Amino acid sequence: MTDLPTTHVNLKGVLTSSTPTADHSEGMSYLQSVPRRLVTLYLPLSIIVFVLLFPFYWMALTAVKPDAQLLDMETYSPFWTWNPTFKHFYKLLFESHYPMWLWNTMYVAVCATFLSIVASVLAAYAIVRLRYKGANLVGGLIFLAYLVPPSILFIPLATVVFQYGLFDSPLALILTYPTILIPFSTWLLMGYFKTIPFELEECALIDGASRWQILIKIVLPLAVPGLISAFIFCFTLCWNEFIYALTFLQSTANKTVPVAIVNEFVDGDVYRWGSLMAGALAGSLPLVILYAFFVEHYVSAMTGAVKE
Amino acid sequence: MADVAIAPRRAKTEIREATSWDQLKHNRNWLGFWFMVPAMGFLILFLAYPLGLGIWLSFTDTKIGRVGQFIGYENYEWLWDDAIFWLSVFNTLLYTFVASAIKFGIGLYLALLLNENMPFKAMLRAAVLIPFIVPTVLSALAFWWIFDSQFSIISWSLKHLGIINQNINFLGDTTWARICVIFANIWRGVPFVAITLLAGLQTVSPSLYEAATLDGASRWQMFRHITYPLLTPIIAVVMTFSVLFTFTDFQLIWAMTRGGPVNATHLMATLSYQRAIIAGQLGEGAAIASAMIPFLLAAIMVSWFGLQRRKWQQGENND
């Protein structure tokens, strides 16, 4: 390794770079010249980000375009509109069941998430701190449960739901969603509980606290970031779930947003696109807003579950 | 806390034998059992039991509204001669393989790009993850509109650039339909792969790269001999999840094509939904769903060995 191109770039980079920062946050990027970074970094990055975000722009644009401009692509430029309309949103909110579907989705997601987090907190605490006989085995089994996808379970679950008389009721979803959420959030919380010092619990035990008190008064307050992560991730998963909602719900009034939009809005109408996209946008917005407030928690949930 | 301080004063009571009630309250195995009840209840009732029931259903001729009889391997024999089933297996494998490979490639590339130092770094990372947040069905609808046969923006742009003369029939042509659903799947999966790998990249110590630079290593050599080996464990896990979820994908296909045109995009999951719920042949649908299990087991094995290897690399602290 005696070739010299690196030193060449190095010199140039040193000459053009600003004063080196003390905290090393700049890394070694000063080794690269600006034109080179333009081609190797900014160009590909902007192409990928453009492709990733374009569908949302298109969704939003379609939702506010007047119908006439939507289908006439020759007289109006399809990429922009100068007279946005809220007609589609109006139709969605006041002339369809959309508010009810949003409410159903919210209701199911909040209940299922709450149930799963309670169950997961107890399970994770028991596996990590009580260390009962076979705790590791149970932890492994829960991880395996994470890998069982809904698409192989929905047929037998449909018969189970029918037998229990839960068919076409939100309760069917509230009780089945935790099977998707519990394995994930248990693993996430196990990771958080492990970081809480054992000594705190020992002190509390000596002071005569029961396990239940320790969990409520010591462990949970310290695991709040983990709980928020688990909550947000579970909530997103619930909102996103499709196949169970499609199979277990039948009446229009009970449907969740994703299922309702696919089934109720898709008719032969050429002008449906505006309200369809408005519906898709309005259905995504709550999650995007939630995400915008808790990006860090969301990312740590996503990566945490994989790392564990 | 006051109670705790006062308690010892009247703690002169005699030491009594531990009753079985005390055992239930304080024995760690029993306590563990009580703590596990809610989670285990859900998982056994709505996961383990249906899993077994599904396999049982695949050996019966159950229809909606009629309890089935045990008929042995008949469903599977029937599927063995069913060209549409084999087409769906082929589609699923093609879909999984192509989408996962490209997701891995672009995801890793994007992670490396995002790991560079640049302005608005945090905002970019947040923006990249949005496709993963938005419910799949809703973004699939956006793709449905983008790939519309008459009013597709892609056809329009290409026509105005003078590349094509006619609209492309994106979701009506078998090859194009496959390309479109695979593209939509990649679009949705790349952020997950990229952000998780980025988290892995950030644990790699910069001093390794500094040392390599002093030794005169090129950027490719640094990637090949530092980044890649250190990332392997996390790549194994991420890709197992990615393969698993791509293989069992349902909603994207259902929202975009419902398996059409001429079954060209039917995956095993969509076919089993069509046969079991729409046509009412629960037994046959369950057989298709159960046929996915061997593939899932293979993916789980990969994941397991990936995790083991990670433990071995990081020593005891991985816990």
pLDDT tens profile B135-148 = 999 999 999 889 88
Q: Indicate whether B121 belongs to any domain.
A: yes
Q: Indicate whether B256 belongs to any domain.
A: yes
pLDDT of residue B159: 85
- Pick from A144, A262, A302: CB nearest B196: A302
Q: Indicate whether B54 belongs to any domain.
A: no
pLDDT tens profile B165-205 = 888 888 888 899 999 999 999 999 999 999 889 988 888 88
CA distance B314 to chain A (A): 12
Domain count, chain B: 1
For residues B215-251, one letter each, b for 16 or more C-beta atoms within 10 angstroms of the residue's C-beta and e for the rest, the string is eebebeebeeebbeebbebbbbbbbbbbbbbbbbbbb
Q: Indicate whether B45 belongs to any domain.
A: no
Domain containing residue B176: 76-318
- With CB atoms and an 8 Å threshold, state whether B129 touches A62: no
B chain contacts of residue A164, beta-carbon cutoff 8 Å: none
ipTM of this complex: 0.83
- Pick from A6, A53, A258: CB nearest B135: A258
| Domains of chain A and CATH, by start | 5-16+30-85 (no CATH), 92-307 (1.10.3720.10)
CA distance A199 to chain B (A): 18
Q: Indicate whether B210 belongs to any domain.
A: yes
- Tokens describing residue A268: 């032969």
pLDDT tens profile A260-278 = 888 877 665 655 788 888 9
- At residue B9, does pLDDT exceed 60? no
CATH code (residue B216): 1.10.3720.10
CA distance B76 to chain A (A): 16
- With CB atoms and an 8 Å threshold, state whether B42 touches A28: no
- At residue A120, does pLDDT exceed 90? yes
CA distance B43 to chain A (A): 6
- With CB atoms and an 8 Å threshold, state whether A159 touches B53: yes
Residue of A nearest to B300 (CA): A147
CA distance B252 to chain A (A): 10
Strand partners, B60: B70
Residues 87-126 of chain A with CB under 8 A from chain B are 115-116, 118-120, 122-123, 125-126
- At residue A6, does pLDDT exceed 70? no
pLDDT of residue A121: 94
Q: How far apart are CA B8 and CA B19, in angstroms?
A: 22
Nearest Cα to Cα of residue A49 among B177, B144, B106: B106
Q: Indicate whether B52 belongs to any domain.
A: no
- At residue A19, does pLDDT exceed 70? no
Q: Tally C-beta pairs within 8 A across A and B.
A: 294
pLDDT of residue A11: 34
Least confident of A281-295, B13-27, B69-83, B169-183: B13-27
Sign of CA dihedral B298, B301, B306, B309: negative
Q: Indicate whether B47 belongs to any domain.
A: no
Residue of B nearest to A29 (CA): B117
Q: How far apart are CA B213 and CA B197, in angstroms?
A: 23
Q: Indicate whether B65 belongs to any domain.
A: no
Residue of A nearest to B194 (CA): A303
Output B272 or B152, whichever has higher pLDDT: B272
